A and B are shown apart, each in its own frame.
Chain A
Amino acid sequence: MADTAVRAPDLTASGAATTRRDSALRRNYRAMLMVWRRDIIRLFRMPTRLISGIAQPVLFLFVLGAGLESAIGNRGAGGVDYQQYLFPGILAMSVLTSSLFSSMAIVWDREFGFMREMLVAPISRSSLVLGKALGGGSVSVMQGLVLVVFAPLVGVSFTVTSFLEMVGFLLLLAFSLTAFGMVIASRMQRMESFQMVMALVMQPMLFLSGSIFPLDQLPDWLGVITRLNPATYGVDAIRRAVLPGASKLDVLGWTVPLWADALITLGFGTAMLLLAVKLFDRTE
Chain B
Amino acid sequence: MSTTSAIEVDGLVRRFGEFTAVDDVSFTVEPGELFGFLGPNGAGKTTTISILCTLLRPSGGSARVAGFDVATEPGSVRSSIGLVFQELTLDDYLTGSQNLAFHAVLYGYPASEVRDRAAPLLEMVGLTDRADQQVRFYSGGMKRRLEIARGLLHSPRVLFLDEPTIGLDPQTRVHIWDYVDTLRQREKTTMFLTTHYMDEAERCDRIAIIDQGKIVAIDTPDALKDSVGDDTVTLMTSDDATALEQIKTALGITGELTEKGLRLQVPEGESFVPRLFEHLTVEVQNVAMHRPSLDDVFIKYTGRDIRDAEAGGMDQLKASGMVRGFRKAGS
Contacts and interface: CB of A to CB of B under 8 A. Distances in A.
Interface residues of B, number: 65
A194 B55 CA distance: 22
A10 B124 contact: yes
Interface string A21-61: 11010110011001000100110011000000000000000
Contact of A113 (B78, B87, B139): B87
B89 A10 contact: no
A113 B88 CA distance: 6
Contact of A116 (B55, B134, B152): B55
**Which applies to chain A's interface (DSSP): helix, strand, loop or mixed?**
loop
A126 to B, nearest CB: 13
B113 A189 contact: no
Nearest to A18: B155
Nearest to B327: A284
Q: Which of A118, A123, A284 has the most CB of B within 10 A?
A: A284
A15 interface: yes
A12 B152 CA distance: 12
Contacts of A189: 324-325
B125 A38 contact: no
B133 to A, nearest CB: 10
Interface stretch (A1-9, A65-73, A150-158): A1-9
Interface string B8-30: 00000000000000000000000
Contact of A41 (B98, B106, B126, B152): B98
Nearest to A34: B105
A6 to B, nearest CB: 4
A119 interface: yes
A26 B110 CA distance: 10
Given A119-B323, A121-B106, A123-B106, A41 B93 contact: yes
A16 to B, nearest CB: 9
A52 B91 CA distance: 22
A200 interface: no
A115 B323 contact: yes
A149 interface: no
B256 interface: no
23 contacts: A2-B139, A2-B142, A11-B124, A11-B152, A11-B186, A11-B187, A13-B116, A17-B155, A18-B154, A21-B108, A22-B110, A24-B108, A26-B108, A27-B106, A27-B108, A38-B102, A42-B93, A110-B323, A113-B88, A113-B90, A115-B89, A119-B55, A284-B56
